[in-house]
């Protein structure tokens, strides 16, 4: 008990020096949590963007629809089962009709996936409503900025679209770029052209048909789907999950590097402080403190340093963590004038385990860098400790 | 233990490494101190006074020979046992004070009592009294950094005597004190010696301190050249 009383007395008595050391530890703690949270947030962000702009609550696929195999697209269409149509009618789902096509921008040929989408949909975060603004004769086309750059087209430009209809004959007509959107989700951008659903159904000669139907988040899954395959978010994001899992070792390495940096900061402040206190250690031994008691005292000081650091981290880091986890960190680009609602913000993710592991790691570091140097000094004869000849 | 031995030093040799060679600070010292002695080691600077006090206090270990203090043979003892002995029975006054920098005068003086688990009320009484003896009552709350050299030295003296130890090792306790304070402090130490039979071993150059000593050991070049009993000290305390 005396050890703890003395440890507190020493820490409080040392005033500024203590608070600087505590601050170093706290900053290390905050940085560890924050950086790791950012890193994990990037993965979570990518997942969120994909869900918001593409996947929504999940989808019902035509029995042979397989986005990984474009050659199946020709046959992957049909009228969705009634329960799915009911969802569409209440605005809780949106049918998408998918077909292969070619476009001829600036005299070049580019194979694309043509997607018919209901312009008034509210299921995914895409500016499809812009398609309604066009009233001319051409096919209104919505594309992503990446695709626009690749094709070398701007809003108002036209190009020929060529497709294979239900009768397996080639048709062609002129498409016009109505709107170009910015997105972080390249899967709705590159190689994709978006056209009003009714127009695509008419072009292909497939009235009322779709390749898949996406439904909104928080819409319960149907049990009766008449052969159409239910794909939930887990299935639709499985590639991404595999990718994130594959990146886990990298995230441990990052945590390790950050931890090493934090350890160096703590090491600096703590070890130097203790070595500078060699005379005090010699005095304590001369006054009759045993080695183990001296080491215990300094380790207790270290432990308390860690404890204060966690309080300081909570006070300084708490609002930071809360604010960033709720509002996100603004990224340096702003796409709002492009008509997209995707917030260009990175939301860090701070799982509880991150706090626990960081607390444990930082505590161990602080204890070790208190224990080792004080033991080293306490191992000396009191006269040597007093003189401060640290070997 | 009125006339028993408190310290016994036999054939004590101390080398300090110096470059590839070594420096011989103590060259075979044999001494006996009885309980209740008021003795001084005197001699030129570098003669080995501090070295000898450190060895008696178990703060350093001899190259050869042995020291026993209060019946404990230091060279065969564990580090912990020596610390225990210092904690319970010895007081140190360092040439360089060695006060604990983050503690006030009061807390510095209180420290040995905390280590000895002295109850709070008794602690308070003893600390207040020791600080009063050395005349620092008005500096009780000051930190060592805010003290003059003499005040720091008096704090170190109070810390050494507060637990009323059996043996006090005092290295130049008056080096930074004016004549008045030197006499004042020495009188307190003489009183402790008389009333509690506390044994004192000084290392000193100070004529005023020598005036109180009842035994003077002359140390030159790491050897005792004269061991003299003073029947009638100049100052009586
Ligand atoms: N740790 C050490 N390493 C090397 N030499 C030392 C060490 N400690 C003391 N000495 C040497 O031993 C000799 C005796 O030193 P000591 O401190 O005992 O002298 P002293 O009699 O107390 O002198 P002073 O009156 O100046 O305090 C000196 O020559 C000193 O340089
Ligand atoms: Mg000396």
Residue B136's nearest CA partner among B156, B146, B151 is: B151
Query: 3-state DSSP: chain B helix, strand, coil percent, rounded to 5?
Result: 35, 30, 35
Closest B-chain CA to A18: B102
Closest B-chain CA to A284: B100
Across the A:B interface, residue pairs with CB atoms under 8 Å apart total 68
Task: Please give the DSSP secondary-structure letter assigned to residue A223.
Answer: S
Ligand 1, atom 25, residue with closest C-alpha = B45
Cα–chain center distance at A279: 51
Q: Establish how many alpha carbons lie within 13 A of residue B173's alpha carbon, considering only the half-sphere containing its beta carbon.
A: 33
pLDDT digits (tens, 9 = 90+) for B8-21: 999 999 999 988 89
**Predicted local distance difference test score (pLDDT) of residue A390:** 55
Inform me whether the pLDDT recorded for A366 exceeds 70: yes
| Interface touch B80/A290, C-beta < 8 Å | yes
User: Who among B87, B94, B101 is closest to A288 (CB)?
Assistant: B87
Q: Report residue A389's pLDDT band, with 50, 70 and 90 as the boundaries.
A: low
Chain A residues with beta carbon closer than 8 angstroms to that of B54:
383
Is residue B44 within 6 Å of ligand 1 at its C-beta?
no
Inform me whether the pLDDT recorded for A340 exceeds 60: no
A288 touches chain B (CB under 8 A): yes
The Cα B108–Cα A357 span in angstroms is 40
| Interface touch B98/A292, C-beta < 8 Å | no
Q: Which of residues 173-232 of B touch A (CB under 8 A)?
A: none
**Predicted local distance difference test score (pLDDT) of residue B1:** 41
Q: Which numbered atom of ligand 1 lies nearest the CA of B44?
A: 25
Is residue B23 within 6 Å of ligand 1 at its C-beta?
yes
A interface mutation test: which of B61, B98, B146, B171 has the most A CBs within 10 A?
B98
**Predicted local distance difference test score (pLDDT) of residue A265:** 79
Arithmetic mean of pLDDT, A69-83: 91
Inform me whether the pLDDT recorded for A190 exceeds 60: yes
Chain A residues with beta carbon closer than 8 angstroms to that of B96:
386
- Report the mean per-residue pLDDT for chain A: 88
Q: Which numbered atom of ligand 1 lies nearest the CA of B51?
A: 18
Angstrom CA distances, B187 to B14, B127, B146, B235, B236, stand at: 33, 18, 26, 9, 8
ipTM above 0.90, yes or no: yes
Quick one: what percent of chain A has pLDDT higher than 90?
47
Ligand 1 pocket: which of B48, B63, B94, B217 to mutate (most atoms within 8 A of CB)? B48
**Predicted local distance difference test score (pLDDT) of residue A332:** 61
**Predicted local distance difference test score (pLDDT) of residue B66:** 94
pLDDT digits (tens, 9 = 90+) for A277-314: 899 999 999 999 999 999 999 999 888 988 999 999 99
Q: Under a CB-based contact definition with an 8 Å cutoff, are residues B155 and B97 in contact?
A: yes
Q: Which is more confidently placed, B126 or A334?
A: B126
**Predicted local distance difference test score (pLDDT) of residue A343:** 46
Q: Which two tokens stand for residue A155?
A: 């809003």
The answer to whether the pTM exceeds 0.80 is no
Inform me whether the pLDDT recorded for A269 exceeds 50: yes
Q: Under a CB-based contact definition with an 8 Å cutoff, are residues A188 and A126 in contact?
A: yes
Give the bridge partners for A70, in sequence order: none
Domains of chain B plus CATH, in order, are 5-235 (3.40.50.300)
**Predicted local distance difference test score (pLDDT) of residue B67:** 96
Q: Which numbered atom of ligand 1 lies nearest the CA of B43?
A: 21
- d(CA B204, ligand 2 centre) in Å: 8
B85 touches chain A (CB under 8 A): yes
Arithmetic mean of pLDDT, A4-14: 88
Q: Which is more confidently placed, A45 or A178?
A: A178
B interface mutation test: which of A276, A287, A378 has the most B CBs within 10 A?
A287
**Predicted local distance difference test score (pLDDT) of residue B144:** 95
Q: DSSP string covering A94-141, please?
A: EEEEEEEEEEEGGG--EEEEEEEE-TT--SSS--GGGGGG--SSSEEE
The minimum CA-CA distance between A302 and chain B, rounded to whole Å, is 17
Inform me whether the pLDDT recorded for A333 exceeds 70: no
Q: Which two tokens stand for residue A83?
A: 């329960």
| Interface touch B114/A6, C-beta < 8 Å | yes
Arithmetic mean of pLDDT, A320-339: 69
Closest B-chain CA to A15: B102
Q: Report residue A339's pLDDT band, with 50, 70 and 90 as the boundaries.
A: very low
Q: Under a CB-based contact definition with an 8 Å cutoff, are residues A41 and A351 in contact?
A: no
**Reduced to 3 states, what is the DSSP secondary structure of residue A379?**
coil
Q: How far apart are the first and last CA of chain B?
A: 23
**Predicted local distance difference test score (pLDDT) of residue A338:** 45
pLDDT by residue for chain B (237 residues), tens only, comes to 445 889 999 999 999 998 889 999 999 999 999 999 999 999 999 999 999 999 999 999 999 999 999 999 998 899 999 999 999 999 999 988 999 999 999 999 999 999 999 999 999 999 999 999 999 999 999 999 999 989 999 999 999 999 999 999 999 999 889 999 999 999 999 999 999 899 999 999 999 999 999 999 999 999 999 999 998 888 877
| Interface touch A383/B54, C-beta < 8 Å | yes
């Amino acid at each position: 008990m005396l050890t703890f009383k003395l440890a507190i007395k020493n820490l409080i008595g040392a005033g500024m020096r203590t608070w600087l050391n505590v601050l170093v530890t706290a900053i290390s703690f905050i940085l560890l949590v924050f950086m790791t949270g950012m890193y994990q947030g990037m993965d979570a962000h990518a997942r969120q963007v994909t869900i918001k702009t593409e996947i929504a609550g999940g989808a019902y696929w035509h029995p042979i629809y397989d986005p990984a195999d474009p050659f199946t697209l020709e046959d992957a269409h049909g009228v969705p089962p009634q329960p799915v149509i009911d969802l569409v009618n209440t605005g809780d789902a949106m049918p998408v009709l998918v077909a292969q096509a070619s476009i001829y921008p600036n005299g070049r040929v580019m194979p694309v996936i043509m997607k018919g989408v209901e312009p008034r949909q509210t299921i995914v975060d895409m500016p499809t409503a812009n398609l309604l603004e066009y009233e001319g004769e051409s096919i209104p086309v919505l594309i992503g900025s990446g695709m626009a750059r690749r094709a070398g087209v701007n809003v108002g430009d036209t190009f020929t679209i060529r497709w294979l209809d239900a009768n397996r004959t080639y048709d062609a007509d002129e498409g016009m770029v109505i709107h170009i959107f910015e997105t972080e989700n390249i899967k709705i951008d590159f190689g994709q052209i978006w056209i009003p659903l009714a127009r695509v159904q008419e072009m292909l000669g497939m009235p009322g048909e779709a390749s898949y139907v996406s439904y909104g988040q928080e819409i319960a899954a149907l049990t009766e789907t008449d052969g159409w395959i239910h794909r939930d978010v887990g299935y639709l994001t499985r590639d991404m999950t595999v990718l994130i899992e594959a990146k886990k070792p990298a995230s441990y390495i990052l945590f390790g590097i950050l931890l090493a940096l934090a350890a160096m900061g703590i090491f600096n402040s703590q070890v130097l402080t203790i070595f500078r206190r060699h005379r005090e250690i010699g005095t304590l031994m001369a006054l009759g403190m045993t080695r183990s008691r001296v080491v215990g005292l300094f380790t207790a000081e270290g432990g308390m340093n860690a404890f204060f650091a966690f309080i300081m981290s909570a006070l300084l880091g708490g609002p930071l963590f809360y604010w960033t986890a709720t509002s996100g960190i603004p990224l340096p680009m702003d796409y709002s004038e492009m008509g997209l609602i995707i917030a260009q913000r990175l939301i860090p993710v701070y799982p509880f385990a991150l706090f626990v592991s960081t607390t444990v790691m930082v505590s161990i570091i602080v204890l070790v860098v208190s224990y080792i140097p004080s033991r080293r000094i306490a191992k000396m004869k009191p006269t040597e400790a007093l003189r401060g000849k640290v070997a | 233990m009125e006339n028993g031995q408190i310290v016994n030093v036999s054939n004590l040799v101390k080398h300090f490494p110096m470059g590839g060679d070594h420096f011989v600070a103590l060259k075979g010292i044999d001494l006996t101190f009885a309980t209740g002695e008021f003795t001084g080691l005197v001699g030129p600077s570098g003669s080995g006074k501090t070295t000898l006090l450190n060895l008696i206090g178990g703060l350093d270990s001899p190259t050869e020979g042995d020291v026993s203090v209060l019946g404990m043979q230091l060279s065969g003892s564990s580090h912990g046992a020596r610390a225990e002995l210092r904690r319970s029975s010895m007081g140190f006054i360092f040439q360089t004070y060695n006060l604990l920098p983050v503690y006030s005068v009061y807390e510095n003086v209180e420290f040995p009592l905390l280590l000895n688990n002295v109850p709070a009320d008794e602690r308070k009484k003893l600390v207040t009294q020791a600080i009063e003896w050395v005349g620092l009552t008005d500096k009780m709350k000051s930190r060592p950094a805010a003290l003059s050299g003499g005040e720091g030295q008096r704090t170190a003296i109070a810390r050494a005597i507060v637990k009323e130890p059996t043996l006090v090792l005092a290295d130049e306790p008056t080096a930074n004190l004016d004549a008045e304070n030197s006499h004042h402090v020495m009188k307190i130490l003489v009183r402790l010696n008389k009333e509690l039979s506390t044994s004192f071993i000084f290392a000193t150059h100070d004529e005023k301190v020598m005036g109180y000593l009842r035994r003077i050991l002359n140390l030159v070049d790491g050897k005792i050249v004269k061991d003299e009993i003073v029947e009638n000290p100049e100052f009586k305390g």
